[in-house]
Structure 1
């Protein structure tokens, strides 16, 4: 595995390849990340992974400084998964000057749900991903980028960004990886205490139940969805959670469902804080 830190080093390492397959990460890797790397490997002629904790997508009160950095363990996992090139830029490598030019995503898609509770988050994500894509795919006529479906809204935003800028990159979704009890794997699961970890699966269970109720009420979704969502949030709140949202949306645009939308057209998404840890999850229904 070739480890590089600067954009010129990365481009030199990829000069002999015509179709990289790229997995961007913030490190602190778990089995979900490694599944994305393994998914990417047969899709290109070089498998590239980045590790960069992106300051631009953290709000001032969030965990940028305390976000876990696990460099040696990450390298060992990527080596075992067959990563060819690891791009690990320092902040000064990726942002040598203040990043005053930024990618502003469509507010209709990016200012709802996560964007409502984390204003500016998707601007930070789009800006760093655009810069990473530029670094990895410069001079390439085609490529593949793999993003996890656990970050469902983020995947949609980035897919739209790639489409609208006509980048020669296929955006591929990686299925959410789950623990045996169905908790979605996440770097932030490591913040949970033992008791919180046992409770954490309740977010997944609440979303699955909301999805079943929504499909059963498919012909009356506009009238009933708000009530179903309120019930789900109240039930989770009664267990000590602080929910931001548990909601039913259309897969196509994350807007509110319409009468007749049913199984195959919808997704349930949720974000809630358990203790000091904010977890997200989703299920297509």
Structure 2
């Protein structure tokens, strides 16, 4: 497994793959890897000849300095996991490497995608996400980029980046990896106690209930039932719960059979912000 810490080292290593016309996949991560990330590496291995995994805690997508400071960075364990799963290349840059002083200001017109849900709750977050992903796309020049469905709004934002910049990379969206009980795997789960993890299973029960009944019940009633599931568990602070059209992420008050829909959910358990979603159709 090659480990590159500079852009120059990475590009030198990738030159051979490009000359051999090998298919390159990129899996961008912020480290603290778990089975969800490793499933993306495995997905990438099925559809590409060379897999690049980047590990970079990107400062421009954090609007809370404390959240950035607390973000786990178990580098040694991450590298061991990637070695075990057979990843080809790990890109492990510093902040100075990715954000040199010569950088130009970044802004991408994300439209309403940036104004709702995560965009509204975390101003500037998706500008930071698109900035770093664009840098990685320009550097790696992947044929395909693999992202997880768990960060659904982020995936829609990356698709808009690809459309706006007319990039040749294709998106491969892998299903959310869950524990046997249904909890969506996340780096933030590391901060939950065992009791907190059990409590968090209510998020999956809410989404599963919505998926089972969204075609047969009106959405107002369904929302009330979902809130009752959370209240029954107790000590879960709901930030938002919405049923939206998938591409625009605009909330809907009825189901349009000609469109696709997704349920989005964010809640706090033990001071940890948990994000989850479920595609309904």
Q: Confirm or deny a common fold (TM above 0.5).
A: yes
5+ residue gaps in structure 1? Answer: 218-223
Superposition RMSD on alpha carbons, in Å?
A: 2.0
The aligned runs of 1:1-285 (5 Å cut-off) are: 1-18=1-18, 19-97=23-101, 99-137=103-141, 143-217=143-217, 224-226=218-220, 228-229=222-223, 231-233=225-227, 235-237=229-231, 239-257=234-252, 259-262=254-257, 265-285=260-280
5+ residue gaps in structure 2? Answer: none
Deviations 1:158-181 (A, max 9, x none): 012112211110111011111000
Q: CA deviation at 1:225?
A: 2.9
CA distance in 2, matches of 1:167, 1:228: 40
Tell me how many residue pairs correspond in the alignment. Answer: 275
Q: CA deviation at 1:270?
A: 0.3
CA distance in 2, matches of 1:63, 1:212: 35
Q: CA deviation at 1:253?
A: 2.0
CA distance in 2, matches of 1:119, 1:237: 29
CA distance in 2, matches of 1:161, 1:236: 35
Matched residue of 2:242: which SS? strand
